[in-house]
Structure 1
Amino acid sequence: MKKPKFLNEKIVSSIVSKTGKTRKIKNLRIISFYQLYKLLDKKEIDLIKNFLKLNPRKYGFRGKFLGIKKIPSNLVTIKDQFLPKLAYLAYQKMNKALKKETGKKLLIASGYRSPAYQAIVFLRCLKENKFDFLKTAKGVAFPGYSEHGNPVNHAIDFCPENFEKTEEYKWLIQNANKYGFYLSYPEGNGDGVMFEPWHWRFSG
C-alpha cells in the first residue's frame, strides 16, 4: 500500500525543517496545534489536517483511539522531558526501588508528547524512512493513538538502545506492575506494533 497522496514529500520536508529549526516555541514537546499552525503555511496546515483524518487501522495498527486531548496542566519537567504528575511520582518511587536493588537508574528517552508534537514526530520519521509510510506507521503512532499523549494512561520510553538486554529491563519485567507500569507492546502483541521493550505505560 502506497503512502496517502496528500503526503507530498516537499511539504513534509518543509514542516520537518520549520519545526526543527524554530526557537519560537520553547518546549516543542508540548506544542499545541494552534501554536504549530502559526509556524506553517496553508499547504502545510492542510497536510497536517488531512493526516489527522487518517485511520491507522488501514495500515496495520489495531490499537485503540485514545483521543486528541488537551495538554495537561500538571506536567512535571525532567530536563527536556515532561510527565503528568501521577506518572512522575510513580516513576520516582520505582526508580528509587530499582537503584536500591540494582544500583541502576531508569533514564527517560521520551515522556509526554502533545498530539501536535506526535504529528511532528511521525513526519520526521517518515522523512528519515525515505517516505516509506507503512514502515513508519509500524513504529510510530498516529496523533490520538499514542500513549505518550494520554494524560491518564501515560507512556514513558526508557533508554538506552538494546533495552531488552539490560538489567533494568529484567527488573521491570519482575517489578514494574507494583508501581503501576506495564509493558505496552510485548512481542506478538495484538496492536500490530513492533516489540518495544523500552515503552512502558503507567496505569496507576
Structure 2
Amino acid sequence: MISVLVVDDDPFVRQGLTELLATDGEIAVVGHAADGGEAVRSASSNRVDVVLMDVRMPIMDGIEATRRMATLPRRPRILVLTTFDLDRYVYSALAAGADGFLLKDTPPAEILRAVHVVADGGSMLHPGAARALIDRFHRQTSDAARTAVERIERLTPREKQVLERVGGGDSNADIARALAMRESTVKAHVSRILAALDVSNRVQAALVVRDAQLLADPD
C-alpha cells in the first residue's frame, strides 16, 4: 500500500485529490496539510511514501517544505503540483529535491500513475512542460557546464548512454527497449549513475545532462 500525504492550501483541491486517490485500491491517503510547515511535521512523524505538494502556500511554501523533507531520515518521494504560470517555482522545487511535478490539470489517470511511478523510485515530469522548464530556468554557466562534464566523465560508456536517455525523460522500460537491456540492468545502471553524479534522483541527473549540453537545444 502506498501512503500519500496531500498538501494544498485549497480545501477543495485537497478534497478532490483525496477522492481521486481513494479510487485506487493500492493507495491510502494518510494525511492532509494546508501549508508547508504542517506538511513537514506530518511527514516527520508519520510513515509517508509520496507527498503531493502544492507550490504557493502560506507560512511555508512547497519549495522550502520539499527542501526540508529531502533531509528527513526516511524521506518521502515528492510530486509537486503546479500550473504553467508557476513554472519558475517548479524548477526551484526540483532543484530542492522533488522527484517530479504535475500540472493541476493533469488527467486523473496520469496522477494515479505518477504516484505509482514515484513510489517505485522513478520520476514523473509533465511531458509538455518538463523540457521547457529545464531549458528556460536552468541556464548553463561555464562553471556549471565544466562541473557537469567532469561528473559525467566518471561514468562508463554504457552508463553515459543510459544517462542520456534519462536526460531525455525515458523510463527504465523505455531505456531497456532502446538499448536492448534488461530492465533490472537499467535500474542497476541508474543507481550507479546517481551515485557517481552525486545527485539524489533522476530529475537532478537530467539537469546535469542539460548542463553538460548532451542534449540538443530545442529549435
- Asked if Structure 1 and Structure 2 have the same fold, meaning a TM-score greater than 0.5 normalized by the shorter chain, the answer is no
Q: Report the TM-score, using the length of structure 2 for normalisation.
A: 0.27
Q: Report the TM-score, using the length of structure 1 for normalisation.
A: 0.29
Higher RCO (CA-CA < 8 Å; seq separation 6+): 1
